[in-house]
Amino acid sequence: MEDRIIKTEYSEVMQKSFIDYAMSVIVARALPDVRDGLKPVQRRTLYDMHELGIRYDRPYRKSARIVGDTMGKYHPHGDSSIYDALVVMAQDFKKGQPLIDGHGNFGNIEGDGAAAMRYTEARLQKLTQEAFLADLDKNVVDFVPNFDETEKEPSVLPAKIPNLLVNGSEGIAVGMATSIPPHNLGEVIDAAKAYMLDENITNRELMRFISGPDFPTGGIVINKDELLSIYETGTGKIRLRGKVETEKVKGGKTNVVITEIPYTMIGANIGKFLSDVAALAETKKTNDIVDISNQSSKEGIRIVIELKKDADVDHFINMLYKKTRLEDTFGVNMLAISDGRPETLSLKQIIQANIEFQFEFNRRKYETLLEKEKAKKEIQEGLIKACNVIDLIIEILRGSRDRNQAKNCLVEGITDGIHFKSRESEVMAGYLRFTENQANAILDMRLYKLIGLEIEALISEHEDTLANIFRYEDILERRSSMAQVIMNELDAFKKQYARKRRTVIDNCEEAVFEEKKVEEMDIYCLVDRFGYARTIDVPTYERNQEAANAENRFVFLCKNTGKICLFTNTGQLYTVKVSDLPFGKFRDKSIPLDNVSNLDSSKELLLLAASQSDLNLYRLLFTTRQAMAKIVDGGEFDVSKKTVAATKLADGDELIDVTVFKDQKYMILQSKDGYFLRFTIEEIPEKKKNAVGVRSMKLGEKDELEAVYFTKTGADSAISYKEKEISLNSIRLNKRDTKGTKLRV
C-alpha cells in the first residue's frame, strides 16, 4: 500500500491541476480551431446531425433529439451548452452564414430567447452539408475516440471556406478570450483565391478584397483607416454606428428613423437603447423628443424617434451617437487554436491556415479517390480481358470441381483436375494470369454482362476510369492543379451563397455634441423615510415648507449641478448627482435612491443625507453603537467615486448617528440600559475618515448606545424617555469616557 502513495507538494498538484483545467477549457471548449472556425461543441453538433441524416433536403428533427444524441455520444458537458450553440448557428442576425436551418422560435434580434429544445426543430443548411461534411467518407481528416471511447468523431471538419472569418467567433476561456467579427463570404473567397495565386501577398493587399467586417445587422464602420492595424496585429477596436435616416412628416416635423443597428446592440441592448433615449428626455438633456416607438419586424429594424418642429436634427443625431449605444465599439481579438495552441492571428494567417488545411485534406481526398479508381481499373481490365476469352473461361468453370479450383486456374494457370474439351484449351488455360481481385470479379460476374452493349459500357467506363486516374495523379503531383480545384470549389460557393455587403466601411468624422450648460441654481432635496428622493425649487419649498418638513426625513438646500452624500449605518458613503434626481412640482413622484446609486435600501439604514458642497464647509461627528466617536473634516468626503468607506468600524459595530457639526456645544449619549452621559463636544478629537475614533462612554457588558442628542449654548431641548419628558440640560455634565448617570423614572 505504501508503494502506491505518492508524496508531493500540494502547491505543485494545484498548479498542475489548474494548468490542465485551463488548457482543457482553452483548447477543448472555448476557442475555435483556425482550420474550420468551429468550437468543439459546434463541430460535434454538426457532425452528429450529419450522422443522424438530418440533411438539408430531409425533414426537420426535434432539437431535443439532436442535443441528446450529441451529449450522449460526443459532448458530455450539459444540454444547455449544446442547445445554445445550435441556436446561435441558426440565427441569421448573429452569423454571416448560418450553418443550421432552424424551424420554430429561435429567438430574435431584440433579445428574446429561443423556445425550449422540445419545441424547436432543425436540420443542416445546404452550405454546411457541402462545405463542411461532404467528404468525411474519404479519409480527409483524422477521427479520434469520443469521451468514453465508444464512438469516433472528427478532430476537425474539412471546411472548404475560411469559416473563422465568415462567421467570426466569440468565447471566453481561462485568462484569454476571442472576439472575431463576421465577414462577407464573397470577399473572403476572393481573398483566399488571391492568397493561393500569390502566397507573399500582404495584409494590405488582402484588404483590397476584404474591406472590413460585414456584420449581419449592417451598420457603419467609421474607423476605416484603423482596420489595417487590426488585421495585421489581430487586435484592436472597431467603431460602429447604426444607420440613421430622417423622414419629414406632417406639421413640418422630422422623424429620426434607425434602420440598422450596431452589431453590439443586438439582444437586450435594443431595449437599453430605447431606455437611454427616454432618459435623455427625462433628465432634460434634450427637449426635442416627442415620442419613441420600436416598429421593428421580421422585415428589419425600424426605431422611430419623433422630434419637435424646430428641433436641430443633426445635433440630436450626434447626441444619440455620444450618449447611447447607437455608436459603439467592437473589441477585436482574433485568437484561435492553431497547431494545437492558442494564438492571436492576423488576417493573412487565418486565410493561410485554412488554405493549407484545404490542400492537406484535398491531398488525402484525392489519394483515397485515386486508390479507388486504380482498384476499379484492375477489375475493369480483368473483365475486358475475360470477355475476349469468355469461351475458355466458361470451359474452365464447367470443368472445375469447386470455386477454388477455378480461381487457381485463372490466377496461376493451374489446370490439374479440370476437365477440358481439348488439349488446346488446357494449354491456353495454363497461360491465364489474372490477379486475385480480377479472378473474384470474373467468378462473381453475371451472364448478362456478356451482352454486347454491356461490354461496350464496360469499355467506356474503363476509359473514364483512366481519365480519372490521370486527373487525380495530376492534382496530387502538381500544387497548381490542386489549387485550381480548390479555387473552382470556392467559385461555386461564391456563386451560390455570396450576398451583397451589408456593413458600410468608411472614415466618419467624430460626432460633435456639446451639452447645453445647465444654469446653476439652488434647489431643495427631499428624502423621505423610505429612501425616495426628489428635488424642488426654492419658491416651491417655501410655499410647502411645513408639509415638506413633516413628510420627509431629510430636507436640505443644494446646487442642481452638485452631488449629495448619503451615510449609512454600515459606515458607507454613497454619492448621487443631483441631476439624476427628478425635479418638478411638490407632489411629483420621487424615485428610490438605490436606482441612482449603489445603495441597498433593503439592507442599509440611511443616517444622513446632505449636500456635498455643505459638507466641505463643516465637520461631521460620527457615533457608533459601541460608543466610538470622532469628528471628521467634511472635505474628506468630496470624492469622485460613487461608493467609499466613510469610517472604520470594529467587528459587530455599526453607526447610529452622523451629524453635521456647526454650533453644537454639548453631546448627550443614551444607552440601552438607561444611562445618560452629557459632555462637551470639544472632548471628541478630529480624526481621518479611515480611523475608528475614541470611546465616548463606558458601557456595561451587554449595554450599547441607543440614541445621540445635541444641544447648543443657552438653548435647551427635551426628550421623551419612558413616557416622561426629560430636559437634556438637566443631565449632570460629566467627562467623556465615563459611565454617565442612570435616570430613575
| pLDDT for res 509 | 77
3-state secondary structure at position 537: strand
Give percent of the chain with pLDDT exceeding 70.
95
Determine the Cα angle at 616 with ends 614 and 620, to 5°.
85
**Environment class of 720 (CB within 10 Å of its CB; exposed 0-12, middle 13-18, buried 19+):** exposed
| pLDDT for res 512 | 65
Assess whether pLDDT exceeds 80 at residue 287: yes
Q: Is 100:48 a contact under the CB 8 Å cutoff? A: no
339 or 425: which leads in pLDDT: 339
Q: Is 531:584 a contact under the CB 8 Å cutoff? A: no
Q: Is 382:236 a contact under the CB 8 Å cutoff? A: no
Assess whether pLDDT exceeds 60 at residue 300: yes
Cell of 571: 459606515
Residues 6+ apart with CB under 8 A from 459: 384
Assess whether pLDDT exceeds 80 at residue 381: no
According to DSSP, the β-strands at 504-505 and 220-221 are parallel
| pLDDT for res 161 | 95
How would you write 147-214 as a 3-class SS string? CCCCCEEECCCCCCCCHHHHHCEEEECCCCEEEECCCCHHHHHHHHHHHHHCCCCCHHHHCCCCCCCC
3-state secondary structure at position 582: coil
d(CA 306, CA 254): 7
Instruction: Please tell me the least confidently modeled range out of 10-14, 590-594, 684-688.
Output: 10-14
Assess whether pLDDT exceeds 70 at residue 242: yes
Q: Is 400:418 a contact under the CB 8 Å cutoff? A: yes
Instruction: Calculate the CA 103 to chain-centre distance.
Output: 24
Give percent of the chain with pLDDT exceeding 90.
55
| pLDDT for res 560 | 87
What average pLDDT does the structure give for the chain? 88
d(CA 212, CA 226): 10
Of 350, 354, 346, 95, nearest to 227 (Cα)?
346
Q: Where are the alpha helices (DSSP H) in 313-346?
A: 313-323
d(CA 599, CA 596): 8
Which domains, ranges and CATH numbers included, belong to the chain?
38-158 (3.90.199.10), 243-325 (3.30.1360.40), 366-495 (1.10.268.10), 522-742 (2.120.10.90)
Q: What is the mean pLDDT of residues 364-380?
A: 89
Q: Is 437:378 a contact under the CB 8 Å cutoff? A: yes
Cell of 394: 466458361
d(CA 490, CA 486): 6
Q: Is 51:194 a contact under the CB 8 Å cutoff? A: no
| pLDDT for res 352 | 96
| pLDDT for res 2 | 56
Of 335, 360, 341, nearest to 160 (Cα)?
360
Number of H helices and number of E strands within the chain?
21, 35
Q: Is 104:120 a contact under the CB 8 Å cutoff? A: yes
Assess whether pLDDT exceeds 80 at residue 687: yes
How would you write 496-520 as a 3-class SS string? HHCCCCCCEECECCCCCCCCCCCCC
- Helices 479-497 and 347-388, interaxial angle, to 10°? 110
Q: Following CA atoms 98, 103, 108, 112 in sequence, which dihedral angle do they give, to the nearest 10 degrees?
A: -130
3-state secondary structure at position 715: coil
**Environment class of 496 (CB within 10 Å of its CB; exposed 0-12, middle 13-18, buried 19+):** exposed
Span 585-638, pLDDT tens digits: 888 888 888 888 888 877 888 888 888 888 888 899 999 999 999 999 998 988
Assess whether pLDDT exceeds 60 at residue 1: no
Span 45-66, pLDDT tens digits: 999 999 999 999 999 999 999 9
Determine the Cα angle at 344 with ends 487 and 240, to 5°.
85
Q: Is 720:693 a contact under the CB 8 Å cutoff? A: no
What are the angstrom distances between the C-alpha of 421 and each of 170, 395, 398, 399? Answer: 79, 8, 10, 9
Cell of 18: 489548474
- In terms of average pLDDT, the best of 53-62, 390-399, 424-433, 721-730 is 53-62
Assess whether pLDDT exceeds 80 at residue 414: no
Cell of 202: 500582404
Assess whether pLDDT exceeds 80 at residue 4: no
Span 69-116, pLDDT tens digits: 999 999 988 899 999 999 999 999 999 899 999 999 999 998 888 999
- Sorting pLDDT into bands at 50, 70 and 90, what band is 657? very high
Residues 6+ apart with CB under 8 A from 183: 96, 165, 166, 168, 210, 213, 214
- Sorting pLDDT into bands at 50, 70 and 90, what band is 250? confident
Instruction: Please tell me the least confidently modeled range out of 61-70, 436-445, 602-611, 695-704.
Output: 436-445
Residues 6+ apart with CB under 8 A from 112: none
d(CA 725, CA 727): 7
| pLDDT for res 326 | 93
132 or 379: which leads in pLDDT: 132
Active site residue 721: no
Count of CA atoms in the C-beta half-sphere (13 A) of 52:
24
| pLDDT for res 745 | 63
| pLDDT for res 26 | 67
**Environment class of 133 (CB within 10 Å of its CB; exposed 0-12, middle 13-18, buried 19+):** buried
Cell of 585: 412640482
Determine the Cα angle at 474 with ends 473 and 479, to 5°.
115
According to DSSP, the β-strands at 152-154 and 121-124 are unpaired
Span 483-542, pLDDT tens digits: 999 999 999 999 999 999 999 999 887 766 666 666 788 999 999 988 899 999 999 999
Instruction: Please tell me the least confidently modeled range out of 124-128, 148-152, 350-354.
Output: 148-152
CB atoms under 10 Å from CB of 65, counted, come to 17
d(CA 568, CA 438): 95
| pLDDT for res 25 | 61
| pLDDT for res 377 | 86
d(CA 582, CA 560): 11
Indicate which residue of 10, 21, 74, 119 is catalytic.
119
